[in-house]
Structure 1
């Protein structure tokens, strides 16, 4: 009996290694099956992603292609579209979409930009829904106007309100004194605020602001169809042009923060207008101003000193920087209380779409070329190279 039990135990011991092998084999089979399953899932996901990408890319291509096709290739109906003075590409695109001439304002705008199309003319156009984007662009660059103006008044970028008054007096029967009296009239200012409450706000009534409508008379070439327009007609035209040109940028500016008002946008843009010489400079200078504001540094921009002094000088002296005035950004941090000049679309564009840089300093050499620096040490090197060496 004892021998049988011993023999059975021996047989069990002999079978144990075989059972372990069987278990290991089964586990290996299970792992291989899991690997095959994972591979199938991965391949399926990749296939889905590829299909979605192809379908998505084709859909985008189809959408853009469709948006660039005429709204109605067979239409012969002429639609009058008025392009206001000083209109930028954003506003023109929106006008065309609102009039039903194009399908998508944003795609038309990018199409024009990609093809480097610019210099569109203000006027009243007879357009049809059968016109292609190229045909529309060609028409808008032609500048066909249905009426011939009695005269035109050109207001360049970067002028102060009294300079605009002076320029207007030379082209019209309106004296500089009459112009200034009108734009500083409290009732007139209140009427503009009531007419354009989202653009001309109570910020212009700040007691520190020199002229409430400074920066609100848009730079452009204005056609007048009467030989002797009134001061109201002239100023109304300029204020309305500002409103129309600010609207496309208003939302983009406001996205950056709740304290970003139109007044501050025009103020910021006016600094760029007085400092910059080219579009790339405007965007880079805008980044410098933003960087300095973020770091709590004063802007230290010379045009604000000249505005504070109330005079134009070829070179700002150290003594000038000490002038005790709210517009002096050497003594006061942040933006001045209001615009120091009128700003054009290029400066408005740079204000809402500045470059992203680490620059904190810049200066202009005798040729008007700006040189930027990230540190004060590098700024001093630029000063020695481009400023001091030229005045020895």
Structure 2
């Protein structure tokens, strides 16, 4: 009996020892795994750190050769970054833009600069803030937001040496439009849709334009405005949107036509998104006016019956194209709509706008505040 107890005791001891050995092995495996993970994370972090340091550091600290660079009037941070990258003065133009935003830098000056590839990003930024505009403007004019393309053309013709006839002829020249599509990523064949009134409606960015020459070429003007639209879309993050550039500008143009102030834009954009998500007609009054080619003080029921790919009271989804040339605030609102459940809004004569989630609620707002 005593022998059996001793044997059982011995087996118990052996099991405990076996478990201790297994636990020791598991602990070693876990420890090694943790070390591997820590080293991997550290390696990735170090790699990212090295990439950032390399991007903001000199392209070649031993290259002191002077590089002549011209920063044109009206250049954005994106445009400046691209110019610096083209001249191999920074390794990445996008990193220059991100770094400028991180540092909250501003005040860059147009002009001619002498830079070197041995300069780091901080030195280049400081140099670009010290420049002076190299030539007085000979021609300056402003295109307001939300204007139809024919109004933009009339405004340009009033302010420049160009005529409405030559502008419209170029804006409707299919061969020229196809060449623009080949050169501009924001353009595609959709602008050549025969249902679209003016192919570049929505793409001629409304802004102040300054030119050093008093005499303009038609192509120079159009492409300067397209460049500005491209820069605004890029800086707004449009390339990451689920919408195409054409759809973004179409939504932005409706927001531009509807909003009375910047505070309303994102909320109106949310209404548009909510309606699109449930395949509900947009029923936006500015699209009706554009369909008629006539501005109305007030949209009446008789205006709603027009058959047009722009009339959102008759079609489901977006109109065939933009209905005006929207500004940066409306483009940003189109990309970043406010999250809410509103499906309706009403601009009252008192200047306020009332948003509603249901049609009965909307009707009550109309009856109360009209």
Calculate the TM-score normalised by the size of structure 2.
Answer: 0.78
Structure 1: segments with no counterpart, 5+ residues: 1-12
Which of residues 63, 66, 71 is equivalent to 2:51?
63
Give the distance between the partners of 1:292 and 1:138, measured in 2 at CA.
48
Superposition deviation, residue 337 in structure 1 = 0.8
Partner of 1:7: none
CA 348–88 in structure 1, closer or farther in 2 if over 3 Å, else same: farther
CA distance, structure 2, for counterparts of residue 144 and residue 378 of structure 1: 60
| Structure 2 counterpart of 1:167 | 155
Find the counterpart in structure 2 of residue 6 from structure 1.
none
Q: For 2:258 and 2:127, locate their aligned partners in 1 and report how far apart those are by CA, in whole Å.
A: 34
Distance 1:51 1:174, change over 3 A: closer
What residue is the counterpart of 1:376 in the other structure?
358
Distance 1:371 1:92 in 2: 42
- Counterpart residue number, 2:182: 197
The verdict on how the C-alpha distance between 1:68 and 1:236 changes in structure 2, with shifts beyond 3 A counting, is: closer
Task: Establish whether residue 224 from structure 1 lines up as the match of residue 206 from structure 2.
Answer: no
Structure-2 change in CA distance of 1:194 and 1:110 (3 Å): closer
How do 1:32-111 residues align onto structure 2 when only pairs under 5 Å count? 32-72=20-60, 75=64, 77-83=66-72, 85=74, 88-111=76-99
User: How far did residue 151 of structure 1 move?
Assistant: 1.1
Q: Which residue of 2 aligns with 1:20?
A: 8
Q: 2:290, 2:131 → 1: CA distance?
A: 36
Q: Name the counterpart of 1:274.
A: 257
Secondary structure in 1 matching 2:257:
helix
Q: Relative to structure 1, is the Cα distance of residues 133 and 306 closer, same or farther in structure 2, using a 3 angstrom cutoff?
A: farther
Change (3 A) 1:128 1:279: farther
Q: Deviations over 1:352-373 (max 9, x none)?
A: x535735453637569777766
Q: Please identify, of 134-143 and 96-105, the stretch whose mean Cα deviation from structure 2 is larger.
A: 134-143
Note if contact 1:81-1:99 (Cα within 8 Å) is conserved in structure 2: no
1:327: how far off? 0.8
Pick aligned residue for 2:286 from 303, 314, 322: 303
Distance 1:182 1:105, change over 3 A: closer
> In 1, are the aligned partners of 2:346 and 2:362 still within 8 Å (CA)?
no
Task: Indicate the residue corresponding to 1:363 in structure 2.
Answer: 345
Greater radius of gyration (CA)? 1
Tell me by how many angstroms 1:142 deviates. 7.0
Structure 1 pair 167/249, CA: closer, same or farther in 2 (3 Å)?
A: same
Give how far 1:15 is off. 3.6
Distance 2:204 2:283 in 1: 25
Paired residue for 1:292? Answer: 275
RMSD (Å) for aligned C-alpha atoms: 3.9
Return the alpha-carbon distance in structure 1 between the equivalents of residues 237 and 51 of structure 2.
28
Q: Secondary structure at the match of 1:196?
A: helix
**Partners of 1:288 and 1:357 within 8 A in 2:** no
Indicate conservation of the 8 Å contact 1:91/1:245, yes or no: no
Of the three residues 284, 309, 321, the one matched with 1:338 is 321
TM-score where L is the length of structure 1: 0.74
CA pair 119-305 structure 1, distance change in 2 beyond 3 A: farther
Gaps of 5+ in 2: none
CA contact (8 A) 2:113 2:131 kept: no
Deviation at 1:182, TM superposition (A): 4.4
SS of equivalent residue, structure 1 residue 296:
coil
In the alignment of these two chains, the number of paired residues is: 365
What's the secondary structure of 1:331's corresponding residue? coil
